[in-house]
Amino acid sequence: MHLYSPEFLTGTSIPFEYTCDGKNHSPPLTWEDPPNGTQSFALIVSDPDAPNGTFTHWVLYNLPADLRQLPERIPNQDTLSDGSRQGKNDFDQVGFGGPCPPNGTHRYFFKLYALDQPLNVASGASKEEVLQAMESHVLDAVELMGLYGRANF
């Protein structure tokens, strides 16, 4: 499986508009070659460099098995039109919360999971609840890492 964004490559800077300092929009993502038997996808975006431990920026799950891309600006609502559900991020909001490091440059991992079933988890779930529901159902996982550092904000 392969995950990429037309806006940034692994190890490069996430564009300003996808951060808290810009428009705070979710970036577009595309993936290819999920394993046979994939019944849904889940996406978790996190910052392991946060001062108080890993900070979760996005929890998105029950993405349809035939989906291969997310456009930018996914609305921050519990359930999307395709039935996908969003969980709470560590900003205590449903949906995407862009990179917003208090200092220095941080790494942001966009991790996509191919699952052998949809998850029986209500909208607004925490990352921990989603990870627990995914246990023993992950067929494959892939990640894209982008960087963001704030300049004198």
Architecture of domain 2-149 in CATH? Alpha-Beta Complex (3.90)
Q: pTM here?
A: 0.96
pLDDT-derived band at 150 (thresholds 50, 70, 90) equals: confident
CA distance 10 to 141: 15
Whether 16 has a pLDDT exceeding 60, the answer reads: yes
